[in-house]
């Protein structure tokens, strides 16, 4: 499965902003978690509006995939995630990505709604 360019691009832009301002990869963990929460809402909205994905289960799978993607590209930052989320992330994140890739083999890829604005 793929993720909307608007959401992934926004996350990468936040990463670049932090790096440009001298923030180390292991810092601002809580801030980036809040960014993930906000972008997750946009992820759901984009799939709902532009790809006509109304099934809650499929939305949940797509949302989990986005979170797994973010964990994999930012493992250094999420090592210090609160509530024990960062424990063993070097093993957990790639394992979840493999599982997600296998799971999505059984789901149809959402197609953009031709009637959607934009």
pLDDT at 1: 63
9 pLDDT tier (thresholds 50, 70, 90): very high
pLDDT of residue 114: 73
Express as a percent the part of the chain with pLDDT over 90: 56
- Calpha distance 38→70 (Å, rounded): 13
- Work out the average pLDDT over 77-85: 78
Using pLDDT thresholds of 50, 70 and 90, give the confidence band for residue 82: confident
- Note the pLDDT tens digit of each residue in 20-52: 999 998 899 889 999 999 999 999 999 999 999
H helical segments located in 1-118: 5-20, 29-50, 56-73, 75-78, 89-103
The pLDDT, as a whole number, for residue 88 is 84
Counting residues of the chain whose pLDDT is more than 70, the rounded percentage is 93
The structure's pTM equals 0.83
Please state the separation of Cα 39 from the chain's center in Å. 8
Q: Does the pLDDT value for residue 53 go beyond 70?
A: yes
66-94 mean pLDDT? 86
On the CB side of 40, how many CA atoms lie within 13 Å of its CA?
18
CA distances from 58 to 5, 77, 103, 110, 117 (A): 18, 28, 11, 9, 22
């Amino acid at each position: 499965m793929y993720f909307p360019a608007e959401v992934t691009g926004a996350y990468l832009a936040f990463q670049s902003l932090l790096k440009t301002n001298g923030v180390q990869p292991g810092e601002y963990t809580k801030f980036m978690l809040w960014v993930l929460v906000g972008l997750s809402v946009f992820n759901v909205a984009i799939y709902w509006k532009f790809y006509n994905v109304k099934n809650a289960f499929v939305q949940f799978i797509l949302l989990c995939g986005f979170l797994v993607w973010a964990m994999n590209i930012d493992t250094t930052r999420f090592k210090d995630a609160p509530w024990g989320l960062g424990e063993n992330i070097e093993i957990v994140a790639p394992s979840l990505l493999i599982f997600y890739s296998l799971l999505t083999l059984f789901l149809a890829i959402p197609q953009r709604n031709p009637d959607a604005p934009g």
